[in-house]
């Protein structure tokens, strides 16, 4: 299969390219970043928002693996136009050109951020959906969301793909819009798609020293400077850290499964390790693997962050026969030694 990987020079995209080539696929990359020295995969340099460039990259393509995006929570709401342009306009241009050229197979890089908070249970009221955390509570160090019905304590659990969607920041909103655009494309262009909702991806090639990277990158960058990782809130936020090689393999099995899918639909799958850890625990494991200073829990917070969100990846395991291979401690120990990428523009 000839596959276009948008964002194929990036952190996750480059891992997807490596996996697809290893499985015998014919791959072409579309990315703003020029082809790395020695890279033999065909590479179109350009912006996914430019229709002419996209048409060139789609020549002879059977399927698209859409990784290109502006990622992370960002700095503040002034980033909103950049996120909407890169993620939603870029996706709309790509899908329009796919429709025009009859390319009907898509794997979309989605995100768990579309859920907002994860799944919570109250002893008195069952499964509930807490609203955004109040600024006054965060400032007072009350980080756990209360039950919206009784104000009582909640127990966090795993969130499945059929959970209500409730994006809590600009990035999350654009990722949900990408899914909706893809669904509209599938219905209107007789396409078939899979949206992979990534959880917290880490591993070699993560960009360093950028406010748009993931938390593992922040901590690793601090440790590389000899500084203690700064852990926000109380460090007890629950996340699912999944290795980039496992995410790349999920993309490959999704692409190969598209041939058996009915046209007109896009199916969503969580991509997580299934192994829940706190942010504070991750920081400690990484610091020790780097032989660096112990993390500092600061009590700081970011509006728009959620408290707990962890995946139920059972659907992906059952329907696409995928399971993660890289364990948490093994992956973090390797990540402590692996190279990170310079942020774009450096």
Of 67, 66, 53, 62, residue with least CA distance to 102: 62
| Cα 112 from Cα 271, distance rounded (Å) | 8
Alpha helices in 23-162 (DSSP H): 51-57, 80-83, 90-101, 135-139
DSSP class per residue in 263-282: TTEEEEEEE--S-EEEHHHH
| Cα 2 from Cα 25, distance rounded (Å) | 6
The answer to whether the beta carbons of residues 194 and 108 sit under 8 Å apart is yes
- Per the DSSP assignment, residues forming a β-bridge with 128 are 120
Q: What are phi and psi for residue 23, nearest 5 degrees?
A: -90, 5
Q: Are strands 276-278 and 238-243 parallel, antiparallel or unpaired?
A: antiparallel
How far from chain centre, in Å, is Cα 179? 13
- Per the DSSP assignment, residues forming a β-bridge with 43 are 29
Q: What are phi and psi for residue 189, nearest 5 degrees?
A: -120, 15
Helix or strand run (H / E) with residue 253: helix 244-257
| Cα 314 from Cα 160, distance rounded (Å) | 8
User: In a 3-state reduction of DSSP, which class is residue 158?
Assistant: strand
Number of Cα atoms under 13 Å in the Cβ half of residue 164: 10
Active site residue ranges: 171
Q: Are strands 154-159 and 119-122 parallel, antiparallel or unpaired?
A: antiparallel
């Amino acid at each position: 299969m000839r596959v276009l990987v948008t964002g194929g020079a990036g952190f996750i995209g480059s891992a997807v390219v490596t996996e697809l080539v290893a499985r015998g696929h014919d791959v072409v990359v579309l990315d703003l970043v020029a082809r790395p020295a020695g890279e033999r995969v065909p590479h179109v340099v350009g912006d996914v928002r430019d229709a002419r460039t996209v048409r060139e990259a789609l020549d002879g393509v059977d399927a698209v693996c859409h990784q290109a995006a502006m990622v992370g929570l960002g700095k503040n709401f002034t980033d909103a136009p950049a996120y909407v342009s890169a993620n939603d306009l870029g996706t709309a241009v790509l899908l329009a050109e796919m429709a025009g050229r009859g390319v009907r197979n898509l794997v979309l890089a989605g995100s768990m951020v579309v859920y907002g908070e994860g799944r919570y249970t109250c002893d008195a009221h069952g499964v509930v959906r807490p609203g955004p955390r109040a600024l006054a509570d965060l400032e007072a160090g009350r980080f756990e969301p209360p039950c919206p019905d009784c104000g009582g304590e909640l127990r966090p659990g795993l969130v499945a793909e059929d959970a209500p969607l409730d994006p809590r920041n600009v990035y999350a909103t654009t990722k949900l819009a990408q899914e909706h655009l893809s669904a509209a494309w599938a219905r209107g262009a007789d396409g078939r798609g899979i949206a992979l909702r990534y959880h917290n991806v880490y591993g070699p090639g993560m960009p360093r020293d950028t406010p748009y990277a993931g938390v593992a990158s922040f901590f690793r960058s601090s440790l590389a400077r000899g500084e203690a990782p700064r852990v926000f809130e109380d460090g007890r936020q629950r996340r699912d850290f999944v290795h980039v090689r496992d995410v790349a393999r999920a993309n490959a099995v999704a692409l190969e499964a598209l041939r058996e899918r009915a046209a007109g639909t896009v199916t969503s799958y969580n991509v997580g390790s299934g192994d829940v850890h706190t942010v504070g625990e991750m920081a400690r494991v990484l610091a020790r693997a780097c032989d660096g200073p112990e993390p500092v829990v600061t009590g700081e917070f970011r509006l728009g962050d959620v408290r707990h969100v962890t995946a139920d990846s059972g659907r992906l395991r059952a329907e696409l026969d995928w399971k993660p291979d890289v364990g948490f401690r093994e992956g973090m120990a390797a990540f402590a030694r692996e190279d990170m990428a310079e942020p774009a523009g450096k």
